[in-house]
């Protein structure tokens, strides 16, 4: 079957899929929201602790369905025991397990970390690859993890990290339709926000999600950003 031609706007020509059309009014609203969030959370950043690209990759693999706080408790000893990708490759997944057993799904994650680091050591000369295509060849790495690594370790914006907070807030702030899939959320956010803001956008939404809009019992109606942008905060819907 012939591949559909992708024609994204200028500056997005290397994005290998079509981004949705968005209205200029929606773009302007999105940029106002971004400004408000950036003023509120000037310290927004990736809350996983890491000192190198491969450490961020490992921490992000470990963070699936786990908290950053829980991952940060386990990683100092893990990173000390395995300073380089080759050090993970030299052992078995069972040797990694004791360091991460406080984290959910640790057996499977030990296998993913071992396989991903072995590939980095063997196929990429010990350096974490800097393209989406290569990152997606690593076990345990899907677009979300690849976007975390590209954006935070290398300053490369190839997409937007859509975690549970980003998905929930994008819907509550009316940036995306309520029934949008994770893939649709990412693509619409990419179309709405300037490319150089994609990485920080997810940090800002995650900071607001963790501090104000908890999954249960958000501070609806007490928060100025919520009142302005969220239909729940305006009292038009229930949480």
Residues acting as catalytic residues: 144, 163
| Binding piece for ligand SF4, criterion CB under 6 A, among 38-46, 50-58, 144-152, 212-220 | 212-220
DSSP assignment string, 30-63: HHHHHHHHHHH-TT----S--SSHHHHHHHHHHT
29 Cβ contact list (under 8 Å, min separation 6): none
Considering only 116, 123, 226, 235, the residue that binds ligand SF4 (CB under 6 A) is 226
Whichever of 32 and 107 has its CB closer to ligand SF4, that residue is 32
Give CA–CA dist 197/222, Å, rounded. Answer: 27
Give CA–CA dist 65/150, Å, rounded. Answer: 20
Q: How far is the CB of 157 from ligand SF4 (least distance, A)?
A: 24
Total interface residues for ligand SF4 by CB under 6 A = 13
Considering only 54, 114, 172, 197, the residue that binds ligand SF4 (CB under 6 A) is 172
Do 129 and 135 contact (CB within 8 A), yes or no? yes
Q: How far is the CB of 25 from ligand SF4 (least distance, A)?
A: 21
Q: Indicate whether 29 belongs to the interface with ligand SF4 (CB under 6 A).
A: no
Question: How remote is the C-alpha of 29 from its chain's centroid?
Answer: 22
Which residues, numbered 121-160, are part of the site for ligand SF4 (CB under 6 A)?
none
Considering only 219, 224, 228, 235, the residue that binds ligand SF4 (CB under 6 A) is 219
Q: Which backbone phi and psi does 89 adopt, to 5 degrees? A: -65, -25
| Binding piece for ligand SF4, criterion CB under 6 A, among 119-127, 136-144, 180-188, 223-231 | 223-231
Q: Indicate whether 120 belongs to the interface with ligand SF4 (CB under 6 A).
A: no
Which residues, numbered 186-205, are part of the site for ligand SF4 (CB under 6 A)?
none
Give CA–CA dist 27/108, Å, rounded. Answer: 41
Considering only 233, 235, 236, 238, the residue that binds ligand SF4 (CB under 6 A) is 233
Considering only 10, 230, 235, 238, the residue that binds ligand SF4 (CB under 6 A) is 230
CA distances from 180 to 19, 65, 77, 186, 189 (A): 14, 21, 39, 9, 11
């Amino acid at each position: 079957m012939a591949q559909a031609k992708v024609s994204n706007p200028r500056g997005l020509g290397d994005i290998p899929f079509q981004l949705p059309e968005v209205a200029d009014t929606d773009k302007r609203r999105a940029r106002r929201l971004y400004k408000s969030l950036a003023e509120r959370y000037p310290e927004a950043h990736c809350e996983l602790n890491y000192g190198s690209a491969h450490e961020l990759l490992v921490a992000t693999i470990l963070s699936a369905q786990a908290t950053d706080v829980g991952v940060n408790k386990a990683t100092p000893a893990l990173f000390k025991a395995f300073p380089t990708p080759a050090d993970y490759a030299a052992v078995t997944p069972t040797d990694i397990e004791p360091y991460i057993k406080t984290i959910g799904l640790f057996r499977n994650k030990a296998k993913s970390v071992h396989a991903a680091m072995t590939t980095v050591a063997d196929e990429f000369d010990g350096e974490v690859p800097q393209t989406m295509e290569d990152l997606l060849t690593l076990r345990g790495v899907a677009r979300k993890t690849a976007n975390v690594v590209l954006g935070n370790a290398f300053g490369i914006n190839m997409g937007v990290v859509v975690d549970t907070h980003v998905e929930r807030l994008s819907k509550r702030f009316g940036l995306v339709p309520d029934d949008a899939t994770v893939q649709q959320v990412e693509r619409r956010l990419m179309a709405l926000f300037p490319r150089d803001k994609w990485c920080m956008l997810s940090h800002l939404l995650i900071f607001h999600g963790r501090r104000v809009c908890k999954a249960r019992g958000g501070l609806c109606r007490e928060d100025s950003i919520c009142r302005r942008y969220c239909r729940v905060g305006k009292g038009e819907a229930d949480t």
